[in-house]
Amino acid sequence: MRAFTGLRGPRAPRAWPLLLVCLIAGTPWSLADSDPPDSAFTNLVGEEMMAKYSNLSLEIHSISLTDKSSMLVEKNITLEKPSNMELTCQFTTSGDLNSINITWRKGDELLENNNYLINASGNTLYTQYTFTIINSKQMGSYSCFFEEEKEQKGTFNIKVPELHGKHKPLITYVGDSTVLVCKCEHCFPTNWTWYRSNGSVQVPVDVHMNDKYVISGKHANETRLKIMHLSEEDGGSYWCHAIFQLGESEEHIELVVLSFLVPLKPFLAIIAEVILLVAFILLCEMYTQKKKKHPEEGKEFEQIEQL
């Protein structure tokens, strides 16, 4: 495969950022000038920007498609901090490569063709989209389209890490203490927050109630909410909320608080069933004994009549 050639469209000169720098610095400069002002302030801003983005990690991901593909091809990418992205789609076809139209979209928005490269090798087309993600607005789905007789699509879903809690309800009893745990595997949120559902509204857990709640691990990959002196009112839905540089994520945990009478109910039901069964047996015995006694009285009456 040949290296990606410069098939990008022409880029407009980026004069506005430089003009803004000049206005801030108080240095006169017009768009007609061939070169921007060579000032210490401008050089300092440029160096800071270059240093800021050059230190970002590079994320490389690819998707393979063919003209026979019938299923949607997707790839999920987890990202928690700003990074340089390099997304590549390759499309293999038996048709004419020159007749295939290639586009990129973010969601439903068409991306400018001067931001991605196109190349061909044999019967395979390659397209590469490179960009830098620095905020939550740039997260989402990026798709490459190969339009021939039939359109083929590959999608990269870029999202923040998912949280993991207890999927089954956590069951405990009145007066006990319990700990709710949320984890983020291979990631470190900048902060954690706990909420409790009050109807359709999420209410922050009041950590200032020291005799009730204790939260630990606010800046780790795991957070714990300890609830003490449980009552039946403490049952319900709890949410752990993680904040990342590129977005937020949350997980739901259900807490069920039972009174001590609840485990006794099955035992009491069994005792009631036993009592009913014993009473039924005694009634049957009494009825049987009474029935046996009546035939004997009838025989004695017949013997007296014969005499």
Confidence bin at 282 (pLDDT 50/70/90)? confident
Full DSSP string of 94-132: SS-GGG-EEEEEETTEEPPGGGEEEEEETTEEEEEEEEE
DSSP state of 48: H
Top-confidence residue, 186 or 2: 186
Q: Is the pTM of this model over 0.85?
A: no
Give whole-number Cα distances, 77 to 22, 59, 208, 227, in Å.
39, 9, 38, 35
Closest CA to 221 of 255, 254, 266, 181: 181
Q: Is 65 exposed, middle or buried (0-12, 13-18, 19+ CB in 10 A)?
A: buried
Q: Which two tokens stand for residue 246?
A: 């590129």
Rounded to whole angstroms, the Cα distance separating 207 from 2 reads: 60
58-112, pLDDT tens digit by residue?
999 999 999 888 788 999 999 999 999 999 999 998 888 888 999 999 999 999 8
Least confident residue range of 94-98, 140-144, 177-181, 188-192 = 94-98
pLDDT band at 263 (very low <50, low <70, confident <90, very high): low
Phi first, then psi: give them for residue 110, nearest 5 degrees. -75, 130
User: For the chain, which domains are there?
Assistant: 57-159 (2.60.40.10), 170-259 (2.60.40.10)
Q: What is the pLDDT of residues 55-67, one digit of tens each?
A: 888 999 999 999 8
pLDDT of residue 88: 96
11 vs 97, more confident: 97
Residue 53, pLDDT score: 63
